[in-house]
Structure 1
């Protein structure tokens, strides 16, 4: 049995899986969201850790198992979210600054974009960790040598090992804006740019391999797999060949395309990142498009406007009208990610008339998710033959069909919605010998429903042009 810890933006899911990657037990705990100022988003690191302990205990109980029955732990996590803690006490010095946070937008606008693009594969944006870390360190009242920085994976490994192990895997490190993507090492020039001392940084380790012994619920279990959530989903979808792509529909929507062993030329509007690989698998790269507001648009319609009571009712409402009746919703609620990369952008709803109803608005929000994914795929220099989809929103058949229509290619959902956690479990299992190689893992991945395009290319192009006109208004 393998315990997969999936620490996400809104909560923590833990799964107990067997050797066939079947879920034996599941536990979940929500975590609080803190918004101290407009554009600021924070989490309590101690609450994150408590949610892991609780969800893990619940998953084991649901599986009828104990921690001593586990062969390994795999971790996947919300990326870029930045935690800094005291090495001696393990106490956080500040709340975690979440990937959605925009407080460092002005700083990012002044950064050397060409240097960052060349070294890291990323673009200067508050989304990534470096300026968050710089912000926290500038307010810390102790020397950096007494502190430890990490993304959420580092924080969890530190807690699991009682502070003995301070590591991050290559996929998470590649999201910090501090890593030389070609060498896989921390970049001295970038560290100097952000005023970060090497002493505060974790060791960079492979995504699949033993990193330490975790003390969990009264026993010790090896931590053997770590990957950022989107790279874990790419692995969990079995996208091992160049050109294979997946989209994860969650709080944000993230599209990754396997680039293989060569990083290649930068793609305008997208970033290049490290992909997770099996042990001794060498280096792999992926092109990524990050849609910052996906499912979060539905949360805003529910919690901010009271337009819907639950996200689940969005499908019924969207299908109750034949179209948006000219309404477009550009959900730049935390700026725009790929391919525009405009942290200063703000949301827009246009095309409203006296006949507009909440159903039109909900449909426009769902269409916005699909249009943003199409924007990312349009930026690629290659055509994606099949888009593999995972995440909670894949249960929305209206959205999946719409996605296929707008990109003109089939969309294939995962039978197991927890693909991210499955990817983490597969990486851990490969490290401890549960499977001999990724070919065995691919054979275990279960595919769900397939959606074929139903509209012609001309109609899709017209709808895409109207969407892009709405986006242009946001960018004025």
Structure 2
């Protein structure tokens, strides 16, 4: 059996899989990923996270744990811990979306930013690890001493096995990894003044990176010869479960929304840096990734429900009614739409300075109008990011995983506005499943049920695309230019 650990921004999931009978899920335990919030600062509470993982492993059941011979770890990227020479933590585990290290990024020259992109394939941004490391060194450490940086899955591996290691797709999110040489970049470390920080050796996803320490075995019931592996960055791991191929685009939804496509080589384009497009090494290190993320998806939907005090059931009822009408060719009389920059914007204008905007509201706007406008706006944002990431004619189809697969209205809007088939993969826990496949070194993928949403050729889709072109794009550009100019 394989035990997968999936650490997400919102939730953490432990899943036990039977690998001999079509990858059957035996048991899953889920809990909220613990955080510490202090005004505008947000940290992942690593002490609580670790204790919850240990205590919840026991809930998998003693009989199941005796059969577990591999543990795979997938997680969000960028966040991690700084350790001193005695491997003791220094400072907090800053959440990937926290912006306290923005001043580090602001002090980079244009030449330094360009050099960073040409080495790491990532635009210099506060979300990645490098600025967090520099901030922690400044606030908590001594620049004359030696330190280690471990991302979330690396640190969990260390606690489970005592070994230091990381994986390619995780290393690719640090802003310190040279994609061309596949080595840690001393040049980038020098730019950030973190030359005294060492990073772990990089291994392939699924590789044996150590066995469970005896102390952990005694606490949990895991076998001491059970080996542990890092399978990668959660969106990349989820794509493995979708059997993503070249020419296909992955739409991975959760707290954020990620767009991912695969390529065979590296081609770092200067204009892509300004658009916030990220390159990386895939969980299969023979391939590379072209990736971008929209900071808001599930988080905006959650805000919408909490602010309007509506339940998930009420939201789904409204979406079902709107979907039925939409399929019949009926649009809301009052079409509103949202620009969901609640946590800043993603591609093509990656910035933490932008704000959300809702257009088209009047005194007759109903809840159904707002629900439609919510998902219309999320779809417009996705369309803009997709057309920036990859040429539309280079996309054969879009594979969707995550909560979006339960949302008929959202999926049909995407099919019509993107003019692509949307394949909604009905798989339970794509990241956990992908982690199981990688840890089991599976070359094939178990076929999952899927539903295909074909573009509807009617006046509604034409009208919505006209709104995108004539309303959304001009207002988007004006809004973003205004926000960036007043903050300069």
TM-score over 0.5 for the alignment?
Answer: yes
Structure 1 residue 86 displacement after superposition: 4.5
Residue 362 to residue 104, structure 1, CA distance change in 2 (3 Å): farther
Give runs of aligned pairs for residues 245-394 of structure 1, distance below 5 A.
Answer: 245-260=249-264, 262-266=265-269, 268=272, 269=275, 270-277=277-284, 282-303=285-306, 305-310=307-312, 313-320=314-321, 322-323=331-332, 325-379=334-388, 380-381=390-391, 382-394=393-405
Q: Which has the larger radius of gyration?
A: 2
- Secondary structure of the residue aligned to 2:207 is strand
Residue 375 to residue 2, structure 1, CA distance change in 2 (3 Å): same
Contact 1:254–1:290, Cα closer than 8 Å, also in 2: yes
Residue 375 to residue 324, structure 1, CA distance change in 2 (3 Å): farther
Residue 324 to residue 68, structure 1, CA distance change in 2 (3 Å): farther
- Secondary structure of the residue aligned to 2:467 is helix
| Match of residue 82 from structure 2 | 84
Residue 189 to residue 459, structure 1, CA distance change in 2 (3 Å): same
| Match of residue 472 from structure 1 | 477
**Distance in 2, Cα, partners of 1:205 & 1:223:** 12
Contact 2:7–2:33, Cα closer than 8 Å, also in 1: no
TM-score by length of structure 2 reads: 0.86
Structure 1 residue 356 displacement after superposition: 1.8
Contact 2:81–2:151, Cα closer than 8 Å, also in 1: yes
**Distance in 1, Cα, partners of 2:333 & 2:357:** 15
Residue 414 to residue 54, structure 1, CA distance change in 2 (3 Å): farther
Structure 1 residue 158 displacement after superposition: 1.2
Residue 316 to residue 42, structure 1, CA distance change in 2 (3 Å): same
| Match of residue 105 from structure 2 | 108
| Match of residue 205 from structure 2 | 207
Structure 1 residue 422 displacement after superposition: 1.3
Structure 1 residue 285 displacement after superposition: 0.4
- Secondary structure of the residue aligned to 1:369 is helix
Segments of 5+ residues of structure 1 without an aligned counterpart are none
TM-score by length of structure 1 reads: 0.89
**Distance in 1, Cα, partners of 2:340 & 2:289:** 26
Residue 393 to residue 132, structure 1, CA distance change in 2 (3 Å): same
**Distance in 1, Cα, partners of 2:457 & 2:129:** 41
Contact 2:339–2:381, Cα closer than 8 Å, also in 1: no
Segments of 5+ residues of structure 2 without an aligned counterpart are 323-330, 483-488
| Match of residue 171 from structure 1 | 169
| Match of residue 226 from structure 1 | 231
Contact 1:225–1:427, Cα closer than 8 Å, also in 2: no
Contact 1:247–1:387, Cα closer than 8 Å, also in 2: yes
Q: What CA deviation, in whole Å up to 9, does each residue of 1:384-438 have, x standing for no partner?
A: 11111111232112111111111111111222131111111111111xxxx4xx2
Structure 1 residue 319 displacement after superposition: 4.7
